[in-house]
Amino acid sequence: MRWHYWVAGALSLTLAVPSAGQPPAPLATQPLQPAPWANKFFLKDIDKNREQTPPAVIVHNFGDVPHGTLCTHTFTITNIYDVPMQITDVRASCSCLDYVPMSKLLQPNDTAEFTVTMNSAKFVGANSKTFHVTFGPKYISTAVIRVSANSKTDVTVSTGAVVFGTIDQG
């Protein structure tokens, strides 16, 4: 009779422990953080549709570029809020990134340009890096911009002169 208790106990243990071939039970996940409201500034048609949900990250892909190219993209920033806003801080995650700051205070419904550059001479292959653009000063939010490019070494660009040769008039 005791033998039956051992068998029943062993079966209950084997049923409670997952086998090696099964994935572990999922852990409780934390709720996702909402996208920063500052990301709305970078949406193309935000002035026409202010109720858009901002994406978690603003993305721009330069695609395949010759090694040595200075890639440039200009974002239009629109202040859809009722208070003046300005860029108070910009952080870049790589020395290959640079930006031209928006120098003015952005009044409600006003637009400005924010130009970013990615220097493909500083990396080879695929590269994806991030800008963190903080707006304020009264209400503070940080937009996240990810830029990427694929610096191809089979074609290179080096600064200098371009010589086309002599061409006869006519």
What does the mean pLDDT of the chain come to? 81
Residue partners of 31: CB distance under 8 A and separation at least 6: none
Q: Is the pTM of this model over 0.85?
A: no
pLDDT tens digits, residue range 120-158? 999 999 999 999 999 998 899 999 999 999 999 886 556
Beta strands in the chain (DSSP E): 58-67, 70-78, 86-92, 97-100, 111-119, 125-136, 141-156
Query: What is the reported pLDDT for 101?
Result: 79
For the chain, what are the domain ranges?
33-154
CA atoms within 13 A on the CB side of 114: 27
More confident residue, 26 or 105: 105
Q: How confident is the model at residue 159 (pLDDT cuts 50, 70, 90)?
A: low
Distance CA 115, CA 11 (A): 66
Average pLDDT over residues 94-114: 89
* CATH code reported for the domain at 33-154: 2.60.40.10
